[in-house]
Amino acid sequence: MACQTLKGAALLQNGVLSKGTAYTEQERAELGLRGLLPPVPSNIRLQAEAMIEQLRSFDTPYQKALFLDGLRAANETLFFRLVMDYVEEILPLVYTPTVGEVCQKYSHLYRFPRGLFLSIEDKGHLDELIANAPQQEVDMIVVTDGQRILGLGDLGVNGMGIPVGKLGLYTACAGVDPRRTLPVTLDVGTDTERYLSDPLYLGHKHKRVSGKEYDDFIEEFFQAVHKRWPSCVVQFEDFGNNHAFDLLERYRSRYCCYNDDIQGTASIVVAGFFSAMKAKNSRLSDEKILFLGAGEAATGVANLIAAAMTETGISREDALSRLYLFDSKGLVTSGRETLARHKAPFAKDLEPCTDFEECIRRIRPTAIVGLSAQSGAFTESVVKAMAEINERPIIFALSNPTSKAECTAEQAYTWSDGRALFSCGSPFSPVTYKGKTFVPRQGNNSYVFPGIGLGAILGRCKELGEDVFLSAAHTCADMVTPEDLAQGSLYPSLTRVRDISLAVAVNIIKLALRNGTAQIEQPADIVQYVKDRMYVPDYE
């Protein structure tokens, strides 16, 4: 953390503390700033007006993202003010889809130090590296090893854009204090040849390390982090599924941690199903859901849907029987020679089938959920098949970034003759079809993870169980209005994301107080307790 007594040019160069042109005459005199700034003091509102004008002058999302990155380095408070005030416009620039492009080019565009890089070469010394982090206190870490960044594959250390982007959302969307967050990238190598042969690539150039050496490294990371910041919440992000499930299993009850791709995604997709049930006036336990993809996200969602179905009174066995997975080898059936542990509960005693559309015709699902990173996999005939079987087919194309979406919003609405209940992982613009305007919203974990993190921090939760993610799903779905549903939106407007996060956090703290996982005294007024602790980007 930067020293609060900085003065003069050093203060202006400190992006965390600087107010830029907003220092008053008196502050300028006291802090040795006279002459170092244009003469007339501005304020955060006028600064934001100037910055949005600047932002809009750039042609491409990528250029805009770079501009925002520079703004953040110069004046973090103003950056967050801008993100909060123009959340719908700016989220796609600091998060999916643009963050994907930023990650892919990260080594070529690197300008500002942000976050902590821990390499497998540093094994045995992580304490020392973690001691170098400037933050005195850290409440929230987002950590990646860069193996599966969005649907873009192994990006190695270039994946740092994701923890930075996600933590930016913790602050903008939920008011987690940015000075108490830390993005971490673990450099365990990369298997991506173009990076291994790129002279500008900033990670170590060797293949990924795995096995015991990898496991020991992660163990050392957890111990070193919690030695310095004992109650820090850790979010796993974009690990490959060869590690993600095991790591979650190993650490979920030892430390307050969660995997956003498995659990956060589950929460938001279940929220989408709750809304879809309202829109078509039916019960979740009557749904039959076919997933395209059977990885972290899809099986995480399937597990939480099973839990949500059992809330309606059916058994887990019945719930599982309504959930089908289709992966790169086809329908997940019990006859397969080998079956990963996370897929096994959903394997069906059916003939193998490698054609997705054929599976739809055989299984007759009410919903298809794309979490496969297979661009265009929901073809016209797939969507039409769903629309033939269902009056209101549920079609969720959730893969990120936009280039990996299973179909576009326009395709889903057009091919289903305007009957699809649609959501997408990355944003799509409203679609007008036969005179009706549909407003698709994002089935993206970004609606819930900021509030889940805030609740975990403020409740000082020991662990985050399935009930936390189900609670967040209910909270988010409860905030969807009849007006939202009427325009085809299964999620609330992003402009309400701070309220959603507040409600998610409050409900998680209540839950944790009830089940004994909270390590705080019961606050007299939980809403006020949370509100009072949400960071607001204004100058002190």
Residue 50 one-letter amino acid:
A
Q: What does the alpha-carbon distance between residue 146 and residue 159 come to, in Å, rounded to a whole number?
A: 5
Which residue's Cβ lies closest to ligand PYR? 400
CA 11 to chain centre: 33
* 3-class SS of residue 452: helix
For residue 238, state whether it binds Mg ion (rule: CB under 5 A).
Answer: yes
Q: What is the end-to-end Cα distance of the chain in Å, rounded?
A: 16
In terms of Cβ atoms closer than 10 Å to its own Cβ (0-12, 13-18, 19+), residue 433 is middle
**Which residue's CB is nearer to ligand PYR, number 265 or number 390?**
265
Among 69, 139, 187, 261, the residue binding ligand PYR under the rule CB under 6 A is 261
Paired residues of 432 in beta bridges: 437
For residue 444, state whether it binds ligand PYR (rule: CB under 6 A).
Answer: yes
Q: What does the alpha-carbon distance between residue 258 and residue 256 come to, in Å, rounded to a whole number?
A: 7
Q: What does the alpha-carbon distance between residue 303 and residue 473 come to, in Å, rounded to a whole number?
A: 13
**Which residue's CB is nearer to ligand NAI, number 355 or number 380?**
355
Token code pair at residue 310:
């059992």
At closest approach, how far in Å is the CB of 400 from ligand PYR?
4
At closest approach, how far in Å is the CB of 444 from ligand NAI?
4
What is the contact mask toward ligand NAI in residues 415 to 454, using x (rule: CB under 6 A)? ----------x-----------------xxx---------
What is the contact mask toward ligand NAI in residues 139 to 178, using x (rule: CB under 6 A)? ---------x-xx---------------------------
All residues at 6 or more sequence positions from 300 whose CB lies less than 8 Å from its CB, including other chains: 259, 261, 262, 263, 265, 266
Among the listed ranges 199-207, 292-300, 344-352, 471-479, the one in contact with ligand NAI (CB under 6 A) is: 292-300
- Residue of 19, 64, 166, 404 marked active site: 166
For residue 118, state whether it binds ligand NAI (rule: CB under 6 A).
Answer: no
How many CB atoms are located within 10 Å of the residue 540 CB? 6
Paired residues of 324 in beta bridges: 290
Among 18, 77, 107, 399, the residue binding ligand NAI under the rule CB under 6 A is 399
The CA R_g of the chain, rounded to the nearest whole Å, is 23
**Which residue's CB is nearer to ligand PYR, number 91 or number 457?**
91
List the single partner that 277 binds among ligand NAI, ligand PYR, Mg ion, none, CB under 5 to 8 Å by kind: none
For residue 150, state whether it binds ligand PYR (rule: CB under 6 A).
Answer: yes
Among 76, 261, 287, 327, the residue binding Mg ion under the rule CB under 5 A is 261
For residue 328, state whether it binds ligand NAI (rule: CB under 6 A).
Answer: yes
348 is catalytic: no
At closest approach, how far in Å is the CB of 271 from ligand PYR?
14
**Which residue's CB is nearer to ligand PYR, number 69 or number 296?**
296
For residues 120, 236, 450, 76, the Cα torsion angle rounded to the nearest 10 degrees is 10
**Which residue's CB is nearer to Mg ion, number 82 or number 448?**
448
In terms of Cβ atoms closer than 10 Å to its own Cβ (0-12, 13-18, 19+), residue 466 is middle
166 is catalytic: yes
Q: What is the total residue count of the chain?
A: 540
Q: What does the alpha-carbon distance between residue 527 and residue 530 come to, in Å, rounded to a whole number?
A: 5
In terms of Cβ atoms closer than 10 Å to its own Cβ (0-12, 13-18, 19+), residue 497 is buried
Among 135, 366, 400, 489, the residue binding ligand PYR under the rule CB under 6 A is 400
* 3-class SS of residue 476: helix
- Please list the active-site residues: 95, 166
Binding positions for ligand PYR, rule: CB under 6 A: 96, 150, 238, 260-261, 400, 425, 444-445
* Residue ranges binding ligand NAI (CB under 6 A): 148, 150-151, 241, 261, 265, 268, 292-298, 326-328, 371-374, 398-400, 404, 425, 443-445
